[in-house]
Amino acid sequence: MRVYKAKDYNDLSRKAANIISAQIIMKPDAVLGLATGESPIGTYKQLIEWYNKGDLDFSEIRTVNLDEYKGLAADNPQSYAYYMHTNLFDSVNIPAVNINIPNGLEDDSVKECMRYDNVIHQLGGIDLQLLGIGGNGHIGFNEPGNNFNKETHCVTLTDNTIDANARFFASRDEVPRYAYTMGIKNIMQAKSILLIASGEAKAQAMYDSFYGPITPNVPGSILQLHNNVTVVADEAALALILKEHEITSGGLIK
């Protein structure tokens, strides 16, 4: 595991975008696993800037998104499909046919989960998976629990996650209670993983995920078992880790 300390959110976003852009340049038809939420917005903005300068080409890139709310249409402003088009897809030259996101309007959970797993398998797996992390250590919508769910599944969102996402809705009551998400196996089979985190609210989850025991009570802790994880986080998110470990300009290697 390699950990990079960013000066601030803008620096974090540039560092993360550098890693993703290197993947795109090295493998123009790479499969990118993408995330939503507040953390990646700056990263996507930087990728768009470099695309507009002619430095990046998305014409052969394939994408698979981590998750989607169950019950929301792709054109709903609160859906993750809408988020991705607004924050990245509509501003670069990625073909619509190359974009893959769980179908929030599919009522049959078993059918949709099997379909999405097949999509990932047919693409040959994920080259680079981008992740954020929740304050309770969740990755994607893999919430704390008694076991690691393996592949795509429908999850009941915890009160913690509903509360965290309520700010994006008119009221807490409007936050969907269910979501489709890639499972831990989907994520762990990615060839490389890039996790980004910002703010003191993530500090405990970051420490528990990378320096605590591996447990489904902290889903992010499973990443300790992956052989190619890069973490880019600001000082606030790394606060508890920095108390015990020095991160040099070359990054901390665990």
The residue range of the domain holding 214 is 2-253
Pairwise CA distance, residues 222 & 131, whole Å: 13
CATH of the domain at 135: 3.40.50.1360
Which two three-digit tokens encode residue 14? Answer: 């540039």
Please give the pLDDT value at position 253. Answer: 46
**Which of the residues are catalytic?**
67, 136, 138, 143
Question: Is 226:189 a contact under the CB 8 Å cutoff?
Answer: no
> DSSP strand E in the chain: where?
2-6, 31-34, 62-65, 67-69, 99-100, 128-131, 153-156, 178-181, 192-197, 229-234, 252-253
Interval 59-113: pLDDT, tens: 999 999 999 999 999 999 999 999 999 999 999 999 999 999 999 999 999 999 9
3-class secondary-structure state, position 199:
coil
Interval 114-134: pLDDT, tens: 999 999 999 999 999 999 999
**Residues forming beta bridges with residue 117, ordered by sequence position:** none
For the chain, how many structural domains are there in total? Answer: 1
Q: What is the mean pLDDT of the chain?
A: 93
